[in-house]
A = this chain, B = another copy of it.
Amino acid sequence: MQAAATIRTEPVRGGGRPRSESTRRAILSATLDLLREESIQSITIEAIAKRAGVSKATIYRWWQSKASVVIDAFMENHIVHTPMRHDIHPAESLLQHWRLLAEQYSGWAGQIVSQILAEGQSDKSIQREFRERFYYGRRAVVREVIDNLRARLPKLQEIDSEVLMDILYSPVYMRLMWGYGPIDAKFIRDFPLNIFLLFGLEFDSDGHVVEG
């Protein structure tokens, strides 16, 4: 998870004052500060610059848009941190991962993610950047575990991995974007159990799979 949605990724050594690392961090952290208070839309580059004690030009030198700054800030600070275990039954892995994700999305992180997605609608380069830097990585991790699960469950073998991922994860984003149905304790508890039931899997009270 490397950072920098910058114009020049490489420091381009050779003459010139080197880029100030502290300035870069000040910008990203000022951005997160502001995001705690208001939406991406209502944040201005000017406000970021002011809070970071930095010139607007410096921000424009390294990022092409407000949303790019947000994505960088988002990525560097592990705003969403959902590790995937590989030492347990894949269904349990998925369950834990899903619940962790949903929990995080129920708060501030969800607000940021949904707002980045919103920005992406009118600026496709933002959409692409976020997809490539955030989405693809986590999709790859999930796909691996889903494949393991499919190998164990004959009835899932006819169904596409992508479809299975979509079934599990899309509803979280759906709720995020529509604001319909809260991502609350009940949803976090019940929704994945319903899905796994459809797959023919049940969990006991300890959260362990009860293969039927």
Contacts and interface: CB of A to CB of B under 8 A. Distances in A.
Interface of A: 39-42, 114-115, 117-124, 127-128, 131, 135, 158-160, 162-163, 166-167, 169-171, 173-174, 177-181, 190-191, 194-195, 197-199
B121 A159 contact: no
A54 B202 CA distance: 61
16 contacts: A41-B121, A118-B118, A120-B179, A121-B177, A124-B179, A131-B179, A135-B180, A159-B198, A160-B190, A163-B171, A166-B170, A166-B191, A167-B171, A167-B195, A173-B178, A198-B198
Contacts of A169: 174
A174 B163 CA distance: 12
A185 to B, nearest CB: 15
Contacts of A171: 163, 166-167, 170
A108 B38 CA distance: 30
Q: Name the residue among A121, A174, A199 with the largest chain B CB count within 10 angstroms.
A: A121
